[in-house]
Structure formats: C-alpha cells, structure tokens
Amino acid sequence: MNRKQRRAEQSQGGNAATGGVDRQLQQAADQRAAGRLRDAVTIYKEILSADPDHPLALHQFGVTAIMAGQGDLAVDLIERAITAAGDDGASFRPDLAYALAMVGYHGEALEIYESLLTAQPNDGETRVNFANLLYVLQRAGEAEAEYRKAIALSPDHVEAYANLGTLLHEGQRYEEATETFQAALALQPESADLHHNLGAVYRALDQFDEAAASYAEAVRRAPNRPDLHEKHGAALSASGDLDEAAAAFRRALAQTPDFVDARTGLAEVALAQGVPKSAIDLCDEYLRDFGYNSGVVAAKALAHNDASEEAEAAYFLDLDRFICPAEIAVPPTFTDQRAFDAAIEAEARAHPSLTFEPPAVATTSGFQTGDLFQDAATPAIAALRGAVNAAVRDYIAALPAEPSHPFIANAPDRWTLNGWTVILKSQGHQRAHIHPDGWLSGVYYVKVPDSVTDTPGGSEDGWIEFGRPPETVRAMRENPTRRIAPHEGVMILFPSYLYHRTIPFEDSGERISFAFDVIAQHGVDPAESGVR
C-alpha cells in the first residue's frame, strides 16, 4: 500500500468509522507494522463481527493476508472491500492486483495494473509491482523497461533498483547489475540483502575478493543469518583464504548445524588444506546426526580418496556397480521411439521455462527448462515420467541387501520426480556437478548429434563422464572416472552424489537430454509419487 492509498483510507475513515473503530484500525496497523500479524487479525475480526462490510477493515485485513502469504484470503477480502466501498474502492485495486498475482491469476492482475497505469502513469509503486509480475511471467524485456520507468519517476525507489539488479544478474549482464546494486546500496547501505546480491554478482564475475568483501558487509549487518556466513565462506574459499573460509563456515554451522552447504564447504576447505581425515569426520558427523544427504556423501567419497583409503572410496565410487544404462520401452501411445522422442522434444521446446544458460545451473552454451514433471500435463512427458518411475523401481529392486551402505540403506519406498530438458548447441556442455537434493538421478537421451558416436578408439566428444569433481573442489588425488556414449532412447541411472559432466562437442546438430532427480518422500500420497 502506498502513501496515496493510506491518505485515501484516512479520508474514508473519517466518514465510515466511529472514533472507536478508528482507534482499533490504528492499533491493528501498529501490530502489523511490528510483525504481530495474528494480533492485527484479531482486531480486524472484532471490527468485522460488528460490521461485516466495513471497507477499511476488510482491506487492511486483506493486506495483512498478503503479508502472511495467504493470497486466496487476500483476494476474497479485498474484493469484498472494493464492493463495500463503492466508488471509493478504486484505491484498493493495486492491492487486489498484487493478491491476484500471488495466487496465479496473472491475466486479471495484468489487466488491473494496465488500467491503473493508464489512469495514473506516474504511479511508481504500481509500476514496480507491474514490472515484478512481468518478470514472473518471464517477460524480462518488458519488466526491465517498467523498472527503469519506475526509477525515473522515483529515483529513491530501492525495490526498483534491487529487482532490476536481479533481472540483470539473471540475464548475465553482470556489469550493469553491479552498477544497479551499487545504486541501491547508496540509498540503503544497511541492507544485508543488497550486499549479498552484489556479492553474488561478483562471484559470477569470478571476482572473489570483491565478493568476499560484499558478503562480509552483509554479515556485519545480519550476523545471525547462517546463509550469509556460508556465502562469505564460499567466496573466501574461492579467493584462496582457506583459514578465514573455514571460520565463516563454522559460524554458519554454529547457528545451523544441519546446514549442508556450510558442512560440505568446510569439508572441501579441509581437502584443500590437505587434511582429508577432518573432512571425513565432518561428513560422518552429519550422517550420524541428521541422516542421508547426497552432497555430504559426495564430499565423504572424495575425502576417502584423498586419504588414500582406496577401499572406503571404492565403497562409494564403484562406477560400474552403481551406474546403470538401460533402454526403456516405447509407451503404447506412440508408434515408435523416434515419435516418442520427437514429442518429448516438441513439448520441452514449447515450455515457457526454456532459457539459454539459466543462472545457478551447470549448463553452458545451451538451453534448459524448469521442472517439467511438476504437472506433466503434456502427453509425452507424462509418459516419460511413468517410464522413469518404472526404471527407478527396477534399479532399487536390483540393489543388494547391504544395510551398512548409506546409499543402499536409504533407498526410498516412495519418491517424487523433478525433471528438466537440456538442449546443448555446438561446444555446449554441462560442468561437473552433483544433484544434492536427489537420492538417485538419471538422464534420458532424446536426440544425439551425428558426430557423437561410440566408435572404438574414436572421439569421446559429447559423452557423459562420471567421477571427476570440478576444479573448484581442490581434491589432491585423481578420482576414478567412467565415460559413457549417449544413445537415443537410452536412460542412465546413477547415485545423485556422483559428480558428472558432459564433454563439449562440435556439430551443427543439437544434443537433447532429459535429466531427472528421484527425491525421497515420507508420508506422501502414493498416487502422487513413485512407489517402490
């Protein structure tokens, strides 16, 4: 709610509410400002029990619901407030648009924002919210234009600078993002989030000293946030300041002992310092106290290898044992493999989340979608989900009875799937990475370019390689590796803790794959998950 709306409410309050109700509304506003949303709601309910159509109480209750993340309730309350207020309800429409966007009624929200801006084009607050919605809808160019208009109208609008900076960062326009976050910090230098965001841009630029300095400023302003300590530690580690990195990671763990990224970051510092036994102890402590995690197991396997404990390392890095290629049967609704793969490709290309080199993923010189298994409304991807679930059941059934092995012992009875498509162009590849959220991961090959073959003694360009960590993980000893040639219609299943990458290739054709994670679930509806 902006200043104009507050003035309108005050004006309406003089006509519509008694002095007692005015005091209650002010008390509720004070509670809301202090973050005591439940207390504010109690007051609004008291007012509405006496006057169910009180427009100000309905509207402010709706704004409180927005703050609490209850979009559906907010929409209902604000629509009632607009009806009850009659002609005066127009000032509530910006908040209605915001609530509609929260619950996914994007078209209705856009219509309201557009009509509001047509009537009042100099309303910077509404323009920022309009830009936010455009960005959610992946209309980044339009969103950028609206943020810049908002900044021109309100040069001190920190949110406009901050969100524009995020848009530029995600668009890999790092220099512009740096300037934008610096402009935001000039207005709000005490914001830990803005210092964090600037640090993230410096990390993307491989300017790790600058990143560490920005994260240090964020930590100074919010010392009780473990996520900031972890980011500070990661930047210090990348800059080579291992002792200070370890201290930052330990501060994060002191606040949140089960913080996986801080734990594995500290273990990787121990590897870089040449003390793999310390890394093993850190990982064992986590597995004992908090249970299975693929990221922790990945660090533990590397540490055993660095400690020259070949048997223990092989326990996790037995690539022939745990990596399983398999052909899948063509679903009966498709005539043949080629038709099935072509349908998967078409559905993936049509998905609005398909983005070139999206941030925070391993894809280079290629496109990647978001999670396509979330709804699986399209026929081919729904059929692929069924095939993946069947392959996972077969994989689990083939595991030996070995309760002492953390991976085998944690084979899930029920799971959900996350799945995404990767389309690589010539010289495209995926950097070495793991899938820390999964128990098992896999990849299904939809299209393989002609130059990617498995000819004996030939090139291994375009193949997938397992076992080699990225250079940022400074392991002292070489790890065992295995390379596999991709084939259309073939799926490869592997533990999520195994590092893997693709070898760059040269070809005018594209390499299209569908990757997925098997995420263990507990207490979910069997109809909504894979079942062992």
Give residue limits of the domains in the chain: 3-200, 232-319, 322-531
Q: How far apart are CA 59 and CA 82, in angstroms?
A: 8
Q: How far apart are CA 80 and CA 183, in angstroms?
A: 40
Query: Are 530 and 416 a contacting pair, CB within 8 Å?
Result: yes
Other residues' Cβ atoms within 10 Å of the Cβ of residue 291: 11
Give the list of residues 6+ apart from residue 180 with CB closer than 8 angstroms, or none.
161, 164, 165, 168
Tell me whether domains 3-200 and 232-319 share a fold. Answer: yes
Give the list of residues 6+ apart from residue 426 with CB closer than 8 angstroms, or none.
365, 505, 506, 507, 508
How is 135-180 classified by DSSP, letter by letter?
HHTT-HHHHHHHHHHHHHH-TT-HHHHHHHHHHHHHTT-HHHHHHH
DSSP 496: T
CATH architecture for residues 3-200: Alpha Horseshoe (1.25)
pLDDT of residue 527: 45
Give the up-direction half-sphere exposure of residue 204: CA atoms within 13 A in the CB hemisphere: 24
pLDDT of residue 426: 85
CATH number of 232-319: 1.25.40.10
CATH architecture for residues 322-531: Sandwich (2.60)
Per-residue pLDDT of the chain (532 residues; tens, 9 = 90+): 443 444 444 444 444 445 688 899 999 999 988 989 999 999 999 999 999 999 999 999 999 999 999 989 999 999 999 999 998 888 899 999 999 998 889 999 999 999 999 999 999 999 999 999 999 888 999 999 999 999 999 999 999 999 999 999 988 899 999 999 999 999 999 999 999 999 999 999 999 999 999 999 999 999 999 999 999 999 999 999 999 999 999 999 999 999 999 999 999 999 999 999 999 999 999 999 999 999 999 999 999 999 999 899 999 999 999 999 998 899 999 999 999 999 999 999 998 888 887 776 778 778 999 999 987 678 999 999 999 999 999 999 999 988 999 999 999 999 999 999 999 988 888 899 999 999 999 999 999 999 999 888 889 999 999 999 998 898 889 999 999 999 999 999 999 999 999 999 988 899 999 999 999 986 555 444 566 5
Alpha carbon of residue 431 to chain centroid: 18
CA angle, 126 then 128 then 131, to 5°: 110
Alpha carbon of residue 413 to chain centroid: 26
